[in-house]
């Protein structure tokens, strides 16, 4: 049975492996695992409690049986704006509405926490076209760069109560 719930401390390594697996799939032939680790140390996940839960955020996992098969998180940027982070699903779990479900749970969390806007960044809109399509469907719109990441697309969504 597939469920979405907060990450447990003992699942950190499994979560990191999901992110690495999906990234290597998306950037197959372009990026090796060692290169990926240079680009993204995943240190926020090593310190998930401090980076997310203790800072008005959350980190959810998609679990099938005992296996982590997807991730998604909200982290605080300021009192009114949060950021959607670490939204990664294994290939066989995409296109089934599970990302939509996770996003709704993350948006509910954000609203309950008092955030008014959600931002996100995307590294490569061509390689991440499925994600971009989903975000546009959820009323994210393009904005100016808001961070110093290597990403090329920056988006924002206003959280409305009736969603």
| % of the chain with per-residue pLDDT over 90 | 72
- Give the CB-side neighbour count of residue 42, counting CA atoms within 13 A: 18
Instruction: Look at residue 36 and tell me whether its pLDDT is greater than 70.
Output: no
DSSP letter at 96 equals S
Exposed e or buried b for every residue in 18-57, given b needs 16+ CB within 10 A?
bbbebbbebbeeeeeeeebeeebeeebbeebeebbeeebb
Average pLDDT over residues 1-10: 95
Q: How confident is the model at residue 127 (pLDDT cuts 50, 70, 90)?
A: confident
Residues 6+ away with beta carbon under 8 Å from 67: 14
Instruction: Identify which of 47, 61, 142 has the alpha carbon closest to the alpha carbon of residue 106.
Output: 61
- Convert the pLDDT of each residue in 53-63 to its tens digit: 999 999 999 99
- Convert the pLDDT of each residue in 88-122 to its tens digit: 999 999 889 999 999 999 999 999 999 999 999 99
pLDDT of residue 31: 66
Q: How confident is the model at residue 32 (pLDDT cuts 50, 70, 90)?
A: low
Q: How far is CA 28 from the centre of its chain?
A: 20
pLDDT of residue 113: 97
Alpha helices in 27-116 (DSSP H): 33-39, 43-46, 48-51, 98-113
Domains of the chain and CATH, by start = 2-158 (3.40.630.30)
Instruction: Look at residue 29 and tell me whether its pLDDT is greater than 70.
Output: no
What does the alpha-carbon distance between residue 143 and residue 95 come to, in Å, rounded to a whole number? 26
Q: How confident is the model at residue 37 (pLDDT cuts 50, 70, 90)?
A: low
């Amino acid at each position: 049975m597939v469920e979405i719930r907060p990450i447990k401390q003992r699942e950190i390594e499994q979560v990191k492996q999901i992110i690495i697996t999906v990234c290597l799939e998306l950037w197959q032939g372009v990026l090796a695992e060692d290169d990926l680790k240079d680009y993204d140390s995943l240190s926020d996940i090593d310190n998930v409690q401090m980076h997310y839960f203790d800072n008005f955020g959350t980190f959810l996992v998609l679990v099938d049986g005992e296996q982590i098969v997807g991730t998604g998180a909200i982290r605080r940027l300021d009192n009114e704006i949060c950021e959607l982070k670490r939204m990664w699903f294994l290939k066989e779990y995409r296109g089934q509405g599970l990302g939509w479900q996770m996003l709704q749970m993350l948006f509910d969390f954000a609203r309950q926490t008092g955030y008014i806007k959600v931002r996100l960044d995307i590294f490569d809109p061509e390689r991440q076209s499925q994600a971009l399509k989903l975000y546009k469907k959820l009323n994210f719109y393009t904005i100016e760069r808001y961070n110093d990441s290597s990403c090329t697309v920056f988006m924002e969504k206003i959280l409305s109560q009736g969603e």
